[in-house]
Structure 1
């Protein structure tokens, strides 16, 4: 059965936008996954130690894979795009792919938590997610993405003009 899944993309090393585009291309090549829509790009201050600013987006997928299988594929895409294991959990990275929401499902295992445990605290994830799915309900908190965003204190997140990223919000169609 196909589910709607929202994946957060982030990069703060190298050509950030090119890395996000490469990640989007890799997502589009996954069997049993279809990229439906992309948010705009957003630039944000990093969480954690001093490091470059992040570029973020959210992609809406239609997915016929189990959550743990998609996670493994996302981790391989990160590796393929230059992400190395790091000592610091909050350190800079060339690419970061996170499953944010999975069509009302809750996944709790040692390697994967869906919805993402920090989603409701992170404007850099909620802003692009709200662009695609403001009415989607957080299955644990019972609030819509728009309501979660409205509750957040201001954070250093702003829309970013893109040069390579698809026009937004993009609806992907078969060619």
Structure 2
């Protein structure tokens, strides 16, 4: 058995916690507003066999990149026995069911975006997934909701808690 297969098998036998970022800035034909899309996506996670332990209130945020539409953002603390690459596949399947297409302009408008931010087993790097999410420390729209549900979760790279990362990012003179 290959090394990565052994690791995946071992990881699949015990539940892990993940911090997931949710975002939407397009109406869905059936569900409606981006806030409604996020609420429906949280329910969809449960139907996909993923336990939602906590969900942060939805916040509004300015768009990143070329999109002009404001985003609705949230975060969820989930539990699943899925290893990271299998969870990513499941999340991308949910995004696809909501109309997400992974082509075209980066950071454009989208009905649903689900990102793996943190994982209870620490760090993970395997194409196309890197945990912790490479840019989450720079994004208030991820850290603000995350502080509501996982303020003491430590970043395995910096050692800072989510609350500390948010404070560093939002103080009037941000620290490096």
User: Which structure's CA Rg is the greater one?
Assistant: 2
Tell me how far apart the structure 1 counterparts of residues 65 and 136 of structure 2 sit (CA, whole Å): 16
Q: Secondary structure at the match of 1:43?
A: strand
Task: Tell me which residue corresponds to 1:169.
Answer: none
Provide the residue aligned with 2:134 in structure 1: 117
Once superposed, which parts of structure 1, at least 4 consecutive aligned residues long, lie more than 4 Å away?
Answer: none
Which of 30, 37, 49 aligns to 2:48? It is 30
Structure 2 unmatched runs, 5+: 1-13, 28-32
Extract unaligned runs of 5+ from structure 1. 156-175
Partner of 2:68: 51
Aligned equivalents of 2:131, 2:150: Cα separation in 1: 16
TM-fit CA distance, 1:19: 1.0
Match of 2:158 in 1: 141
In the alignment, which residue of structure 2 is the partner of 1:17? 35
Taking only aligned residues, the RMSD between alpha carbons, in angstroms, comes to 1.4
Contact map agreement 2:16 2:121 (CA 8 A) in 1: no
Counterpart Cα distance in 2 of 1:73 and 1:113: 16
1:7 corresponds in structure 2 to 20
Q: Is the 8 A contact 1:81 1:95 kept in 2?
A: yes
TM value normalised by structure 2: 0.84
Alignment TM-score, normalising by the size of structure 1: 0.84
2:87 pairs with 1:66: no
8 Å contact from structure 1 (residues 104, 139) kept in 2: no
Q: Which one has the bigger strand percentage?
A: 1
Query: Any conservation in 1 of the 2:67–2:107 contact (CA below 8 Å)?
Result: no
How many Å separate the matches in 1 of 2:125 and 2:102?
23
Structure 1 position 85, deviation (Å): 2.3
Task: Give the conservation status (yes or no) of the 8 Å contact 1:126–1:149.
Answer: yes
